[in-house]
Amino acid sequence: MTTRTASTRSRLSPEERRSQLLDLGVRLLSSRSLDELSIDLLAEEAGISRGLLYHYFGSKQAFHEAVVRRAADDLIAQTAPPVEGEPLHRLLVSMTAYLDYVDTNHAGYLSLVKAAQGGNDTLREIYDEARAALTDRVFGEDAQGQIVRETPQTRLLVKAWAAFAEEVVLGWKADPAGVTREEVLDVLVMSLPALVGVLPPQE
């Protein structure tokens, strides 16, 4: 006797099925790497045949990319809405949205982050795109509202700050003991100007 109660096959609309498989993929890939996840297991969890996964995604690799893209799109959608106001306030709003996202979509965020490193260029690209949604706004288009002026030095620094922010949030989620949410937000926001401050002033 298997886990499935329904002995009959279920026929969903392509959109529903695709969505179901992506959701499942996000969940499963947050705790395993791709090669630790067999199509067999995935198919069984979804209650479908192996063949159907290939019908929808073509290959295991392509499935992975679709899963990561789904996670990235979620992140971008929930953190990207433009914000008015002072630079530091905008940064606070942005970081709050980011923290909220990771709070409610921990699995999705993990599968995104994990995919980015071990993976190929396509995966890395998707990840960079998502990261840009968080960091782009610190480089203002005009000279007025920007937090950081764009130079080779600051570009490197801001990219590294994003890695810092990611580690703060994931580290806190993994072990929140002794640190409040407000302290985390404070560090996320104030760290950027503090880091920019270590660069020699550029004119």
Partner DNA sequence: GGCGTTATTGAAAAAGTGTCAATAGACTGC
Partner DNA sequence: GCAGTCTATTGACACTTTTTCAATAACGCC
Binding site for DNA (CB under 7 A): 8-14, 17, 35, 37-40, 47-52, 54-55, 58-61
Q: Are 72 and 114 spatial neighbours (Cβ–Cβ below 8 Å)? A: no
> Which of residues 18 and 124 has its CB atom nearest to a copy of itself in the complex?
124
Q: Is 50 in the site for a copy of itself (CB under 8 A)?
A: no
Cβ contacts of 7 within 8 Å, gap of 6 or more: none
Q: State the number of binding residues for a copy of itself (CB under 8 A).
A: 43
Q: Is 109 in the site for a copy of itself (CB under 8 A)?
A: no
Q: Is 191 exposed, middle or buried (0-12, 13-18, 19+ CB in 10 A)?
A: middle
From the CB of 60, what's the least distance to DNA, in Å? 3
Q: Are 47 and 21 spatial neighbours (Cβ–Cβ below 8 Å)? A: no
From the CB of 17, what's the least distance to a copy of itself, in Å? 26
> Which of residues 1 and 177 has its CB atom nearest to a copy of itself in the complex?
177
> Which of residues 18 and 159 has its CB atom nearest to a copy of itself in the complex?
159
Helices then strands, each counted (H, E), the chain: 9, 0
Q: Are 47 and 4 spatial neighbours (Cβ–Cβ below 8 Å)? A: yes
Q: Are 140 and 87 spatial neighbours (Cβ–Cβ below 8 Å)? A: yes
What is the contact surface with a copy of itself in residues (CB under 8 A)?
Answer: 32-36, 113-120, 151-153, 156-157, 159-168, 171-172, 177-179, 183, 186-187, 190-191, 194-195, 197-199
